[in-house]
């Protein structure tokens, strides 16, 4: 316990790093995945912007990236990370890898939720003379918002998992902390405290997501 008190400032810093990594990754992968998911949805057969070629390309891309285990994915894109950021270590490297990997998962989740939107309302907007882009922004996404928020909440939990894994290969945050100060010093107290904090971060996010989704769905 004494050890832990000594390490407290570093522990707090690690929490900050994890939160920063997760939140920025959520925004970046959320935006990127939303665009990819919408593209997947609208280019389907009989979609708003039906386009077989684009649909196949994005589908294949998503199918290639998604099954790769994250630890391997991080290492595999080191060259790309270095090319973009100049380094693969630390919080920025972790954010880059996590955002990219998660974007493809988000794309599928977004696509699935948009498929569930009543095609009738899209037809109604078309009949009113709305352009495809306008329909996407003012009808499609608002109509699917509740499930989309739940989807993003699901992703958020996954991001915390990924951020811990990124920590193992030098990405900072609670993952790194548990590894260097817990595992390597055989200090299980530190590992358990870290786990407890992660659980709290997950729960808070899940509650917030559920609350937002309920507001969007008005129930």
Q: Is 125 in the site for other proteins (CB under 8 A)?
A: yes
**Closest separation between CB of residue 144 and other proteins, Å?**
9
**Closest separation between CB of residue 150 and other proteins, Å?**
15
Assess contact for 156 and 209: CB atoms under 8 A: yes
| Residue (19 or 145) nearer to other proteins, CB | 145
Q: Is 6 in the site for other proteins (CB under 8 A)?
A: no
Q: Is 123 in the site for other proteins (CB under 8 A)?
A: yes
Q: Is 218 in the site for other proteins (CB under 8 A)?
A: yes
Read off the tokens for 120: 């009738």
Q: Is 17 in the site for other proteins (CB under 8 A)?
A: no
CA distance 40 to 44: 7
**Closest separation between CB of residue 54 and other proteins, Å?**
18
Which of 79, 129, 184, 186 is close enough to bind other proteins by CB under 8 A?
A: 129
Give phi and psi for 46, each to the nearest 5: 65, 15
| Residue (72 or 127) nearer to other proteins, CB | 127
205: number of Cβ within 10 Å: 20
Geometric angle at alpha carbon 76, from 88 and 151, rounded to 5°:
90
Q: Is 138 in the site for other proteins (CB under 8 A)?
A: yes
DSSP tally for the chain: helices H, then strands E: 11, 0
Geometric angle at alpha carbon 25, from 80 and 169, rounded to 5°:
55
Q: Is 131 in the site for other proteins (CB under 8 A)?
A: yes
Site of interaction with other proteins (CB under 8 A): 118, 120-121, 123-131, 134, 138-139, 142-143, 145, 218
């Amino acid at each position: 316990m004494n050890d832990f008190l000594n390490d407290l400032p570093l522990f707090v810093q690690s929490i900050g790093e994890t939160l920063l990594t997760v939140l920025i990754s959520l925004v970046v992968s959320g935006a990127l995945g939303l665009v990819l998911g919408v593209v997947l949805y609208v280019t389907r057969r009989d979609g708003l912007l039906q386009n077989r070629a684009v649909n196949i390309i994005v589908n294949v891309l998503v199918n290639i990236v998604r099954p790769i285990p994250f630890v391997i994915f991080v290492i595999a894109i080191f060259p790309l990370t270095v090319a973009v950021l100049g380094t693969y270590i630390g919080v920025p490297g972790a954010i880059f890898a996590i955002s990219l990997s998660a974007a493809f998962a988000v794309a599928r989740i977004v696509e699935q939720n948009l498929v569930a939107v009543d095609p009738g309302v899209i037809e109604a907007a078309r009949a009113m003379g709305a352009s495809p882009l306008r329909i996407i922004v003012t009808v499609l996404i608002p109509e699917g918002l509740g499930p989309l928020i739940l989807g993003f909440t699901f992703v958020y939990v996954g991001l915390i998992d990924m951020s811990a894994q990124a920590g193992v290969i030098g990405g900072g945050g609670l993952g790194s902390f548990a590894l260097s100060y817990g595992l390597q010093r055989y200090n299980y107290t530190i590992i358990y405290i870290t786990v407890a904090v992660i659980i709290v971060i997950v729960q808070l996010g899940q509650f917030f997501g559920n609350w937002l989704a309920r507001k969007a769905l008005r129930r």
